[in-house]
């Protein structure tokens, strides 16, 4: 019984060490200087309109215009009256995103006509305006990663102490 | 330690249930609040569901891995050895002035809350009442786990009955049925399990524990008779609220429901009219699934919008900042027209927003951290097993950073109240 307990403890310690090493490797392998572009557009849409169709068309446009980008790499969200776009860093000048703003505005005009049957005078008040383009470094270790690794190490030490205690006890 | 294991078991059970429903319910159009959550990241509903199922599997795997480590450690640490047990002596309530002061303080708080409730305007909606009585609810949420811990630790009848009475008043004043449910699960369910476990491990002690078991059963029956009808009435009133066209989560969210004629989330999907039949069941299923969807949204939203930091969350909990914490940020993203509220984004959401590694690692570490805390408490003789068990459950739903300040305050309080009186009592085996 004691022998089995010791083996179980060894197994748990190995599992924990393995997990900590995997996590550390994962975190540090990711320091590759990868950047993503985050673009923010102010959006003013017709009441109750939700821009899923606009997102679809925007995604299609980006895939067509930026070679090498896939739909999975483009993340779009709508939050606090803003359209947020995140994609891998591509060497595109700011004009590119201003151009996207024009495309978005064309889309909203088009959609307003197609789906909302709004009059031309009303359409003018809706649209998108480029607010911010920023480049952020992704895949860098964060505080929570260090905290998590530290907790694993402490727990591993606790188990090791338990193991040593068990080892000191004579087998029956 | 049964409370710690119980808290984790509850989290595993809940995740498995939520994941099962998420896999089973393929048509999300029936669930208004979940549809709203998916729209934040502009994901098609099917994709949103698949992302959520992946988040569910990862959460379940993390929790199971943590449970494996926890149970093995407990089993190996104790083995067949004799283990000393800490407990409060029978006359603590009479001797500890801090204990009595705490009870008086909670009583005053509850009286003030009750007075505010009965003197307030009659026509306030539920959400407005939650906002108006927010300070009292926060303080009660801080106090009731301490009361519950004292209730299960105290050996003096008078102390136990005081704690139980106050707990029942807290449960009756609370806006959330979860409070009552947790009091019942931890205070009666796990308490009984703890006794049964001890009886199984000690021969010829049935006579010693029989009065306590009988007391627990009577309390369980009385509490059920008193409070369950109230819960049923409350649920019925909420159902009427829903049928009147409003969401339980947000009064204005109905305006963004996809059933609207103007709104066209996906032209390929035919809108389905929400029928009142089976509404209650759908509400329950939605309630169970929502945390998983919120967790999945936390991951996707963090890709495009920088989330509030962990420090923001801590400062917010300590009332040092007005900046929203992660769960408030998510709530605002999903229900933008509502002024305040919080989502339940799980350990997963926290890991996804603040860690660069997969959230699975953070789920395991968060549970291990709380487990280490419980072990340390047990070693120095501070009874915090139930507090930590509750923290595992509450942290599982809202995130570790969210519950850490309150857990620390509770541990300090219980140390001051109970530590000087803790005595080593007999052996477990």
Q: Is the separation of the CB atoms in A69 and A88 below 8 Å?
A: yes
User: Nearest chain B Cα to A117, which residue?
Assistant: B262
Q: What is the predicted pLDDT for the residue at B58?
A: 92
**B197-227 pLDDT, tens per residue?**
777 766 556 666 667 677 777 777 777 776 6
Q: Is the separation of the CB atoms in B346 and B399 below 8 Å?
A: yes
Per the model's pLDDT, the better-predicted residue between B203 and B416 turns out to be B416
> Which of A131, A115, A41 lies closest to A77, judged by CA?
A41
Q: Which of residues 27-56 of A touch B (CB under 8 A)?
A: 27, 30, 38, 46-53, 55
Q: Is the pTM of this model over 0.90?
A: no
Lowest-confidence region among B7-16, B118-127, B325-334: B118-127
The answer to whether the complex's ipTM is over 0.85 is no
Lowest-confidence region among A48-62, A139-153, B408-422: A48-62
Which CB contacts under 8 angstroms, 24+ apart, belong to B412-416? B413/B102, B413/B146, B414/B146, B414/B149, B414/B150, B414/B382, B414/B383, B414/B384, B414/B387, B415/B382, B416/B98
Q: Is the separation of the CB atoms in A39 and A133 below 8 Å?
A: yes
| pLDDT average, residue stretch A3-19 | 79
Lowest-confidence region among B232-241, B260-269, B335-344, B384-393: B260-269
User: Nearest chain B Cα to A4, which residue?
Assistant: B76
Whether the per-residue pLDDT at B60 is higher than 70: the answer is yes
Whether the per-residue pLDDT at B393 is higher than 50: the answer is yes
Which residues of chain A have a CB within 8 Å of the CB of B262?
A: 46-49, 116
Per the model's pLDDT, the better-predicted residue between B84 and B121 turns out to be B121
Q: What is the predicted pLDDT for the residue at B240?
A: 54
Residue appearing with tokens 């009303």:
A122
Whether A51 and B351 lie within 8 Å, measured CB to CB: no
User: Which member of B304, B310, B357 has the closest CB to residue A23?
Assistant: B357
Q: Which of residues 258-287 of B touch A (CB under 8 A)?
A: 258, 260, 262-267
**CA distance, residue A162 to nearest chain B CA (Å):** 7
Q: Which of B40, B357, B372 is best to mutate for the A interface (most A CBs within 10 A)?
A: B357
Lowest-confidence region among B178-182, B209-213, B351-355: B209-213
The one-character DSSP state at A71 is: G
Q: What is the predicted pLDDT for the residue at B63?
A: 92
**B105-154 pLDDT, tens per residue?**
989 988 888 888 888 776 666 677 777 777 888 888 888 899 998 888 87
Which of the four pLDDT bands, split at 50, 70 and 90, describes residue A70? confident
Q: What is the predicted pLDDT for the residue at A43?
A: 78
Q: What is the predicted pLDDT for the residue at A2?
A: 66
Residue appearing with tokens 């980006």:
A62
Residue appearing with tokens 């924990």:
A16
User: Nearest chain A Cα to B260, which residue?
Assistant: A48
Secondary structure of residue B239 in the 3-state scheme: helix
Percentage of residues in chain B with pLDDT exceeding 70? 75
Q: What is the predicted pLDDT for the residue at B392?
A: 92
Which residues of chain B have a CB within 8 Å of the CB of A38?
A: 304
Whether the per-residue pLDDT at B79 is higher than 60: the answer is no
Q: Which of residues 60-119 of B touch A (CB under 8 A)?
A: 69, 72-73, 76-77, 79-80
Q: What is the predicted pLDDT for the residue at A1?
A: 62
Any CB–CB contact under 8 A between B331 and chain A?
no
User: Which member of A23, A50, A162 has the closest CB to residue B76?
Assistant: A162
**B237-288 pLDDT, tens per residue?**
555 544 444 444 443 333 343 333 333 444 444 444 444 445 667 778 888 8
Phi, psi angle pair for B172, to nearest 5°: -75, -25
Per the model's pLDDT, the better-predicted residue between B414 and B223 turns out to be B414
Burial class (CB in 10 A: 0-12, 13-18, 19+), B243: exposed
Whether the per-residue pLDDT at B363 is higher than 70: the answer is yes
User: Which member of A48, A148, A166 has the closest CB to residue B355?
Assistant: A148
**CA distance, residue B195 to nearest chain A CA (Å):** 26
Secondary structure of residue B231 in the 3-state scheme: helix
Count Cβ neighbours within 10 Å for each residue of A46-66 and write b for 16 or more, e otherwise.
beebbbbbbbbbbbeebeeeb
Per the model's pLDDT, the better-predicted residue between B332 and B57 turns out to be B57
Which residues of chain A have a CB within 8 Å of the CB of B263?
A: 48-50
d(CA B257, CA A153): 48
Q: What is the predicted pLDDT for the residue at A168?
A: 73
């Amino acid at each position: 019984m004691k022998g089995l307990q010791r083996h179980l403890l060894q197994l748990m310690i190995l599992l924990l060490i393995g997990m900590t090493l995997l996590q550390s490797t994962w975190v540090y392998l990711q320091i590759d200087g990868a950047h993503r572009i985050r673009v923010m557009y102010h959006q003013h849409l017709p009441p109750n309109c939700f821009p899923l169709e606009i997102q679809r068309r925007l995604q299609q446009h980006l895939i067509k215009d930026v070679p090498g980008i896939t739909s999975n790499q483009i993340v779009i969200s709508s939050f606090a009256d803003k359209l947020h776009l995140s994609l891998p860093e591509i060497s595109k000048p700011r004009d590119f995103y201003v151009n996207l703003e024009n495309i978005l505005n064309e889309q909203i005009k088009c959609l307003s006509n197609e789906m909302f049957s709004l009059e031309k005078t009303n359409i003018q008040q809706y649209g998108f305006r480029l607010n911010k383009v920023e480049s952020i470094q992704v895949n860098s270790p964060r505080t929570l990663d260090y905290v998590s690794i530290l907790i694993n190490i402490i727990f591993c030490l606790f188990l090791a102490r338990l193991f040593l205690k068990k080892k000191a006890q004579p087998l029956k | 330690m049964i409370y710690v294991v119980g808290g984790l078991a509850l989290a595993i059970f809940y995740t498995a249930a939520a994941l099962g429903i998420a896999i089973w319910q393929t048509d999300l159009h029936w669930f208004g609040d979940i549809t709203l959550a998916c729209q934040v990241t502009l994901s098609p509903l099917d994709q949103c569901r698949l992302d959520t199922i992946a988040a569910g599997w990862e959460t379940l795997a993390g929790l199971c891995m943590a449970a494996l480590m926890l149970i093995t450690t407990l089993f190996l640490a104790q083995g067949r050895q004799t283990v000393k047990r800490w407990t409060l002596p029978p006359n603590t309530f009479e001797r500890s002035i801090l204990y009595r002061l705490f009870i008086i303080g909670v009583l005053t708080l509850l009286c003030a809350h009750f007075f505010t409730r009965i003197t307030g305007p009659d026509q306030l909606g539920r959400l407005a009442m939650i906002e108006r009585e927010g300070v009292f609810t926060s303080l009660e949420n801080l106090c009731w786990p301490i009361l519950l811990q004292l209730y299960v630790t105290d050996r003096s009848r008078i102390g136990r009955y005081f704690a139980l009475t106050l707990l029942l008043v807290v449960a009756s004043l609370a806006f959330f049925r979860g409070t009552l449910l947790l009091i019942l699960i931890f205070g009666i369910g796990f308490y009984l399990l703890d006794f049964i476990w001890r009886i199984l491990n000690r021969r010829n002690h049935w006579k010693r524990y029989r009065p306590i078991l009988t007391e627990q059963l009577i309390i369980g029956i009385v509490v059920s008779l008193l409070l369950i009808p109230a819960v049923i009435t409350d649920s019925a009133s909420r159902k009427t609220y829903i049928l009147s066209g409003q969401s339980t989560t947000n009064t204005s969210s109905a305006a963004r429901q996809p059933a609207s004629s103007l709104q066209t989330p996906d032209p390929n999907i035919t809108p389905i009219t929400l029928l009142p039949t089976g509404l209650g069941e759908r509400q329950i299923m939605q309630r169970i699934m929502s945390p998983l969807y919120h967790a999945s949204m936390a991951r996707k939203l963090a890709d495009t919008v920088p989330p509030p930091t962990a420090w923001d969350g801590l400062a917010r909990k300590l009332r040092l900042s007005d900046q929203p914490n992660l769960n408030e940020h998510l709530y605002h993203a999903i229900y933008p027209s509502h002024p305040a509220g919080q989502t339940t984004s799980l350990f997963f959401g926290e890991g996804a927003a603040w860690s660069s590694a997969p959230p699975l690692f953070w789920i395991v570490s968060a549970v291990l951290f709380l487990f280490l805390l419980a072990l340390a408490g047990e070693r120095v003789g501070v009874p915090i097993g139930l507090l930590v068990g509750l923290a595992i459950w509450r942290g599982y739903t809202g995130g570790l950073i969210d519950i850490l300040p309150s857990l620390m305050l509770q541990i300090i309080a219980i140390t001051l109240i109970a530590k000087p009186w803790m005595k080593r009592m007999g052996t477990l085996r």
